[in-house]
Amino acid sequence: MRSCTTHTPLAPLLAGLVILAVAVPAGGGVLTLTPSDLGAIQNPQVSNDARFLLGFELPEGLRKGDVDLAVLEFVAAVTCPDSASTLTLDAFALISEWDGQTVEWYQGWDAPGGDFDWELHAVWSVAPSDTARIRLDVTDMISTCLSAERRSCSLIVAVARGETGEFAPLCLGDGAEEVPELTIWYTSLGLEGANRGGMGPR
């Protein structure tokens, strides 16, 4: 796999989003969540080391059943000098609290760049595109959050180690319209009265 060349760092801005609440039916099926928080951090010493953070509020009823599959999906601009190249992205579960409006590379973490669980890992390889669709299987991360009885689950996405590519999620910045989604396929859940907490365009 060839590496990509870095161009513009990930923009650390979040704008144009508001909180929504949507009723979720009980029983098996598919649940789609949008983020309760978004953020981005940039390594000040490494131009291509940018990381995308997402937080999701999880309905309490999810703990009463089985999560069969959970997929994080978002759209990003991915740039490579060679159109035949691909860029690999890694996703991990964050284990520290953070705020998308104030998060920074060094501040608020025990380790610079974010505290995350190396054991819970997802990978996606993508070709360069102005509107590349990223899909990461985060089933283990969501299941672990639910097993720990957490009300929310946070994820961090970065370019894989050893590669020098660049990706810029289109949900960040002024006038952003592309909102990431976490889709959960579930069975035998007690979701009566649960709400879907997340964000959407103004």
Q: Tally Cβ neighbours within 10 Å of residue 10.
A: 24
Please indicate whether residue 12 or residue 60 has the higher confidence score (pLDDT).
60
Q: What is the CATH number of the domain that holds 61?
A: 2.60.120
Number of structural domains in the chain: 1
Residue 14 pLDDT: 33
Percent with pLDDT over 90 in the chain:
52
Question: Quick check: 200 pLDDT over 60?
Answer: no
Q: Flag whether pLDDT at 187 surpasses 70.
A: yes
Inside any domain, residue 151: yes
> Residue 189: what pLDDT?
53
Residue 182 lies in a domain: yes
State mean pLDDT over 33-51: 92
Within a domain: 159: yes
**136 vs 90: CA distance, rounded Å:** 9
Q: Which of 37, 66, 52 is nearest to 122 (CA)?
A: 52
Which phi and psi angles does 186 have, rounded to 5°? -135, 165
pLDDT at 23 over 60: no
Average pLDDT over residues 162-170: 87
Give me the pLDDT at residue 6, please.
Answer: 30
The answer to whether residue 68 sits within a structural domain is: yes
Cα atoms found within 13 Å of the Cα of residue 172, Cβ hemisphere only: 23
- Residue 89 lies inside a defined structural domain of this protein: yes
pLDDT of residue 192 exceeding 50: no
Which of the pair, 150 or 26, is modelled with greater confidence? 150
- 120 within domain boundaries: yes
Per-residue pLDDT at 10 exceeds 50: no
What pLDDT was estimated at residue 83? 64
Residue numbers of the domain that contains 149: 20-201
Given a cut of 70, whether residue 58 has pLDDT beyond it is yes
The tokens describing 50, both together, are 């940018």
Q: What percent of the chain has pLDDT over 70?
A: 76
Residue 186: C-alpha distances to residues 31, 134, 161 (Å)? 8, 21, 33
Domain assignment present for residue 191? The answer is yes
pLDDT band at 175 (very low <50, low <70, confident <90, very high): low
Q: How far does Cα 74 stand from its chain's mean position?
A: 8
Q: For residues 118 and 164, which has the higher predicted lDDT (pLDDT)?
A: 118
Residue 106: pLDDT band with limits 50, 70, 90: very high
Task: Judge whether 165 and 157 are in contact, CB under 8 Å.
Answer: no
pLDDT band at 174 (very low <50, low <70, confident <90, very high): low
pLDDT digits (tens, 9 = 90+) for 131-161: 999 999 999 999 999 988 888 999 999 999 8
Q: Is residue 10 assigned to a domain? A: no
